[in-house]
Amino acid sequence: MFAEPERTGYDLNFRLFGFPVRVHPWFWLVTLIFGANVFDPDRPEFILAWFAIAFVSLLVHELGHALAFRAFGVGSHIILYSFGGLAVPWDTLHGRWRRVAVSLAGPGAGFLLAAVVWATNQSAQWAGGAPVAAFAYIALLYVNLAWGAVNLLPVFPLDGGQVSQEVCLHFFRARGLRVALQISIGTAAVAAAYSLACMLRLPAVIDFLRQMPWWFPVGGLWTLALFGVLAYQSYQLLQQLNWTQSHWDN
């Protein structure tokens, strides 16, 4: 579903810790769109900081996956594109719980980065200086905590969806994929409804958000569109599965 994007003449290619990394031009465009609210022509340092934060955060997330693959003896390459990335393994990774560990390693690496950012500011107070430093501090924490949390939702093809699939296959065997897809549809539908409630500023949601930590993801048009599409994709996959199984039975 999140297939590897085609190579283009505008790709940025480099190696990091031995992993080939390819940055697709969509990455810069989508980062710019997501950062539109920080774009101020008089303060270009904010948009530059935003690009650096999105780049580093996404790279750290994918490095988490890639290092976990490597720990299990499987090489991979990293692709950054739109607001997602991919760590594409060169071999099949055998072992259900190893695959779960690889899926969790991405958000885990982001949480670790957030912890490092928080701890360095606790000791050196670097975020209290220039406005751009304060912005970088908040944005780094928000991006890594909020995206990590969203990514852990049991929705295909997010990291949490991969974990959910492995866990369901373990517990429900032949019915596992069906159960995982049902969980995916339900969770994505709830996330879409929450996004809509955030957009409409329903009092219940505002009360709920007051009780949550400051970095708790606030929904909007983007998350509404994302989870709407993902709910529909999971629904289609479930229909295909039903079709295949009914024809198999015949």
Residues that bind Zn ion (CB under 5 A): 106, 159
Q: Residue 79 or residue 196: which is nearer to Zn ion going by CB?
A: 79
User: DSSP readout, 142-153?
Assistant: HHHHHHHHHHTS
CB closer to Zn ion, 159 vs 166: 159
Nearest approach, Cβ of 105 to Zn ion (angstroms)? 8
Report which of 8, 7, 19 is spatially closest to residue 59, judged by C-alpha positions: 19
Name the minimum Å distance from CB 68 to Zn ion. Answer: 10
For Zn ion, the closer CB: 159 or 219: 159
70 vs 196, beta carbon nearer Zn ion:
70
CA 228, 113, 122, 126 dihedral sign is negative
**Least distance to Zn ion from the beta carbon of 205, Å?**
27
- The per-residue b/e assignment along 192-219, b for 16 or more CB within 10 angstroms, e otherwise, is bebbbbbeeeeeebeeeeeeeeebebeb
Query: Based on CB atoms, which residue is closest to Zn ion, 105 or 140?
Result: 105
Helices (H), 125-220: 131-151, 159-172, 176-199, 203-211
Residue 80: beta bridge partners? Answer: 23, 85
**Shortest distance, CB of residue 78 to Zn ion, whole angstroms?**
11
In angstroms, what is the minimal distance from the CB of 77 to Zn ion?
Answer: 14
End-to-end CA distance of the chain: 29
Inter-residue contact 124 to 110 (CB < 8 Å): no
Strand (E) or helix (H) holding 21: strand 19-23
Give the residue at shortest CB distance from Zn ion: 106
